[in-house]
Chain A
Amino acid sequence: MATFNKLQDYVEQLNKAVHNWSAHTFKAAFSNTAPSATNAVLADITQIGTGGGYTGGAGGGITLDTVTLSETGGTAKVTIADEVFTASGGSVGPFRYIYVYNDTASSPTDALVMYYDYGSSITLADGESITIDFDPTNGFWQMV
């Protein structure tokens, strides 16, 4: 199970209305470079290169679906549909970290939210898949 790691700048940008979990587009980006908790934007990280169906660079990664914000009893919760990425036309990786970032954010551009650490590097052979498994019960993220 991949571990959830919050990036420090996220809470500042959240409170500056940079992130809108109801309307913005969030993406997952793959990296094999050890993260720093102070990474703030997509340009701060080293994504894997384009290939095998994965698109790197600015705005790169995989678009996340049905990102939904709800609130019950004063606790906000964000749920995200599981995302399956399948390498196509070549291998993808190696990568160990999957970042979630806000592709809509423009100031700062592509503001990072968090990253998952899969513990060791993964390389997808052509046709192999990885599932980003977002918790359907507790949500991707909660704010009390």
Chain B
Amino acid sequence: MIFLALSPFAVTMLAVFTTLALVAMYFLRLRHRRMMIASSMLWNRVLQRQEERSLWEKLRRILSVILAVIIGLLMVFAVARPEIAALTGSTGRTMIVMDTSPSMQARMSDGRTRWQHAVDMANTLVDSSGSGTEFRIVDTSGQYDSAYTSDAGEAKQAIRALRPMAAPPRFPESEDSSTQTWFISDGVAIPAVPQSARKLLVYEPVRNFAITAFEVRSMASAPLQYEAYVEVSNFGNDARRTTINISEGGPGRIRREVEIQSRQSYRETFDLSKFDGGGIRATIQTDGDALATDDIAYTYLPLKKKTKVLLVTKGNAYLQTALRLDSFVDLSVADPKDYREDPANDAYVFDDFAPAIQPSKPALIVGIQNGVPNVSWLPVPNGTVEKPTFSKWDDNHPVMKYLSLHDVSIAKAAAIDPSNVTVLAASGETPLIAASPVPGAGARWVLLTFNLQSSDFPVHESFPLFVDNALAWFGRERLALRRTTGVVEVPIVNAQITGPDGKAVSSRAYLDRTVFEARDPGLYVAIKDGQRQYIAVNLMNRQYSNVNHPVLNWGSEIKPAARFLKHEVWFYLLFAAVLLLGLEWFTYHRRITL
């Protein structure tokens, strides 16, 4: 037995003091009232007979003292918070680390998942620990780390709040070496586990088929034609047949029934030419599959549509060539004199020209220093800069992706005020490439403050890429980003995230990205300035799906110690003290004790 609140010496001293004080008080209590009676002759006989009658009569005088001392000592020990490990389990700090890797969702032979077993085990651990034990509930995915609490209910609530999710596994560190660490896992996708951690295994071999790859890509021969690459793996211990289905909201349907050997994968590329586009889904159906999360995968098939672009120029071979070579562009050319806004166009490219009224569709304006009149929707040139060089550019902006502007030479460029535009690239003196500043205030535009004729930019390899990036930024659909379930990062600042059900998903904005939690696979959408970026969130992780491959062999399962008392010992001591107090009160007033 140990004492959690007081030192053994303090407990001893307190016990001695309490005993002495109670005995002293007991004798003080026996101050009797004097009463004259006619004769004590008969009383003497009665008392003498009573004293002779039994040992009990002698004992009961001291019984009150004994009861009082017992009550006092019970209270002293209660204050000292004793711990008897055999009765209440050991008290201390316990960290319960729950393996929240997706493989924990594998269903076992009893119909319950490994996760459910793990939760039961954790609850048993909480119940069997000492009542004064402080628990810290942590997971391996970094989603949850509770503060230490001695409230078993709170600890269980924390355990209930956890859910398996895909995230790089990590084992949390404990603050001190005295903390007892329990790790509950199936041993499949686990981080490095410290030697001191006690492990509880929830593992049983199961069957599992998984979609380990699903992506859409353009065909090399026809950029507007797409194909889907699917890989299905059998992580079970026997060969089985499975049915692969690829479907979309439209008429596109593909079905394939295959047999896959144990520990083998099936790979196939499917032609999606009959698919209209939009979200598509791949599923597999296998008998007795234990893990459902990896049986479904999503991606996005861009709509098959060319961008109708009107190039307004007096003649620019570079631009025309770059646009004509872009397989996503349906180009038409017009002279500035003949410019009329046509709703059929998807975007405009103005070369040494800018209309007085901003077009309703996005526009790429190339050069504003030569004869471009001042228009209200574009920055007004306030001079020229001779031989500017690209000193900085924003790699993260979609227009500037994959561009290298180091050796671009420019003869002269218009100087504009950088304060009202989004500067994409600039020299030390002026922005050289700028974009529309305020989201939602008219259509997008990208502006080159220099003329292509006064620069060697058109002959650089970055030029067609720049043009394509600009037109893509103007609204061309893109392939979906591929992410796994769990914490998802999107390289778009302050984007609004919509889940597969169309409802907004809470997200957190960082300097260069937006982060949200995708608990379930599905097609998520990040919306920024009216632009949509699809995010295909799938499990698709061989490590998680390989549910029959425990990394560690932990041997026999370690059972947590059972405890007999639910509360700490002090609770029962205090209860006993109160009970005895009531008993003493009752016996005293009934004159059973004196």
Partners in one complex: no
Q: Which residues of A contact B (CB under 8 A)?
A: none
Q: Which residues of B contact A (CB under 8 A)?
A: none
